[in-house]
C-alpha cells in the first residue's frame, strides 16, 4: 500500500507510523529521517537543506520533494510506503501525485488521525523531560513521576521544553490548520481520505487504523 499519514501535532503520528509500517511490511518514510539522512550523508540535497537551516530559514519545497523522490525510488519502497510529514502542503501533495503518475502508480489511502484540539494541547503541554537524559519522558496526567518534578529513573530535574508550552503548541496548531490541513480536502476530492479517532491506547488506535485501511482497500 501507498499511504500518507496526516494529523495535528500530538496526534501520535510517529508512533502509529512505526506500528502500521511494520504491520503492512512497508517502509516508514518521515520528513525528519529524510533530512537527517541526507545531511549526514552529505548529499547535494542535504547540503542545500543544511544551508537554509543554518540560516534559520525554511527548507524550500523543491528540496524536500527531491529528498522524498529519491527515497521512494529505493528498492524497499517500490511496493509501497507510509509517508509521515510529507506532503506538508497542497503544493507538495500535487508534486507527489505527479511523481507517482510518472511511475504509473497512485496513493491507496490518506489516513487522517483526528484529535480534538484541547486534547492535543493537554498531550504536549503536559510532557516533562529529564534534564539528565531526554529519553526519560513523563506526563503530568498520563505518566506522572512518583515525586513531582523529579525523574523516577535517575532523580534528575524534570522540565517543560519551550516547544511544549501551551502558547507554542497553539501556534503549531495554527500552522497545521493553515498549511497542512488543506491537503485533507485536496485528497478528499480524490476519495482517498480515511479518518479515524486517535484517542485511546496506542494499540487501539493501530487496530482502528488497520481496520479502516482494509475497508478502504475493499
Q: What is the pLDDT of residues 136-159, one digit of tens each?
A: 999 999 999 999 999 999 999 999
Rounded to whole angstroms, the Cα distance separating 166 from 93 reads: 29
pLDDT class for 216, splitting at 50, 70, 90?
confident
Between residues 101 and 58, the one the model is more confident about? 101
Asked if omega into 17 is within 30° of 0 (cis), the reply is no
Mean per-residue pLDDT, 86-115: 95
> What does the pLDDT read at residue 94?
97
What residues contact residue 190 under an 8 Å CB cut-off, 6+ apart?
107
What residues have CB less than 8 Å from 129, skipping those under 6 apart?
136, 137, 138, 158, 159, 160, 161
C-alpha cell at 3: 499511504
Q: Give the pTM.
A: 0.90
Indicate which residues carry an active-site annotation.
Answer: 13, 88, 127, 161, 172
Q: Among candidates 153, 182, 174, 136, which has minimal Cα distance to 6?
A: 182
**Which residues does residue 39 pair with via DSSP β-bridges, in sequence order?**
none
* Burial status of residue 136 (CB atoms within 10 A of its CB: 0-12, 13-18, 19 or more): middle
| pLDDT average, residue stretch 94-100 | 96
pLDDT tier, 104 (very low <50, low <70, confident <90, very high otherwise): very high
Amino acid at each position: 500500500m501507498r499511504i500518507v499519514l496526516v494529523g495535528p501535532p500530538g496526534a501520535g503520528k510517529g508512533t502509529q507510523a512505526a506500528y502500521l509500517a511494520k504491520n503492512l511490511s512497508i517502509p516508514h518514510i518521515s520528513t525528519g529521517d529524510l533530512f537527517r539522512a541526507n545531511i549526514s550523508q552529505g548529499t547535494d540535497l542535504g547540503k542545500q537543506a543544511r544551508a537554509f537551516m543554518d540560516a534559520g530559514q525554511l527548507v524550500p519545497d523543491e528540496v524536500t520533494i527531491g529528498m522524498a523522490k529519491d527515497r521512494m525510488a529505493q528498492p524497499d519502497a517500490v511496493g509501497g510506503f507510509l509517508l509521515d510529514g510529507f506532503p506538508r502542503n497542497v503544493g507538495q501533495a500535487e508534486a507527489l501525485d505527479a511523481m507517482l503518475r510518472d511511475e504509473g502508480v497512485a496513493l491507496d489511502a490518506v489516513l487522517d488521525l483526528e484529535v480534538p484540539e484541547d486534547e492535543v494541547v493537554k498531550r504536549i503541554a503536559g510532557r516533562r523531560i529529564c534534564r539528565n537524559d531526554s529519553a526519560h519522558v513523563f506526563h503530568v496526567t498520563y505518566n506522572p513521576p512518583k515525586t513531582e518534578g523529579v525523574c523516577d529513573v535517575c532523580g534528575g530535574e524534570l522540565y517543560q521544553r519551550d516547544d511544549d508550552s501551551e502558547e507554542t503548541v497553539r501556534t503549531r496548531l495554527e500552522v497545521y490548520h493553515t498549511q497542512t490541513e488543506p491537503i485533507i480536502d485536496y485528497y478528499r476530492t480524490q476519495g482517498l481520505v480515511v479518518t479515524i479517532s486517535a484517542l485511546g491506547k496506542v494499540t487501539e488506535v493501530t487496530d482502528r487504523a488497520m481496520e479502516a485501511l482494509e475497508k478502504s482497500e475493499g
